[in-house]
Amino acid sequence: MSRSTAGPARKSGLWVLLVLGVLVVINLYVFVWDKKTGVRAIAEQAHNAQPTMSVPSAPLVPTPPPHVAATPTVTVVEGKVAANDTIGRLLKHHGLTAAEADEVIRSLSGVLDFKTIKTGEPFKITRGKDGRVQRFELALAKGRTVHSERQTTGELIAKSE
């Protein structure tokens, strides 16, 4: 008693070919024959579309936070490093934007080992009349102080004392 398996396999193979053929016809209709969704129609719509956005010719400059721009005086924020604080968290928590915090962190990167910061160490953030960070100072253990100060060229330069 031997059974032939060729019959059902051939039958299911025909169904697969039929389904694939139907899918090909549907795709041809959508992408080629239909006048609204065809490739030519989409290319023509893209060609005729008016640009709605322009790219500025100069790089964008980060603007100071609105609450700082309104006050034309020098402001100083003093505090102490909280438990589990990183420099980034500390700066953002005390009003610096992400761009400002990044600028301070980059300036300190060659001078400060960020892993040595301890809870309770005092810091000071000074903003100038223009609202930009003029100075960041952190008093570390063992009497050492690191500070980042804005130069006349506009960049922040860090030093350790």
Instruction: Give me the residue spans of the domains in the chain.
Output: 6-48, 66-160
Tens-binned pLDDT, residue by residue, of the chain (161 aa): 555 555 555 567 788 888 999 999 988 888 888 877 778 888 888 788 776 666 666 666 666 666 554 546 889 999 998 888 888 898 998 988 989 999 998 998 888 888 888 899 999 999 988 888 999 999 988 888 998 999 989 888 888 88
pTM score of the predicted model: 0.54
With a CB cutoff of 8 Å and minimum separation 6, the contacts of 158 are 107, 108, 110, 111, 112, 146, 147, 148, 149
Is 66-160 a domain of CATH 3.30.420.40? no
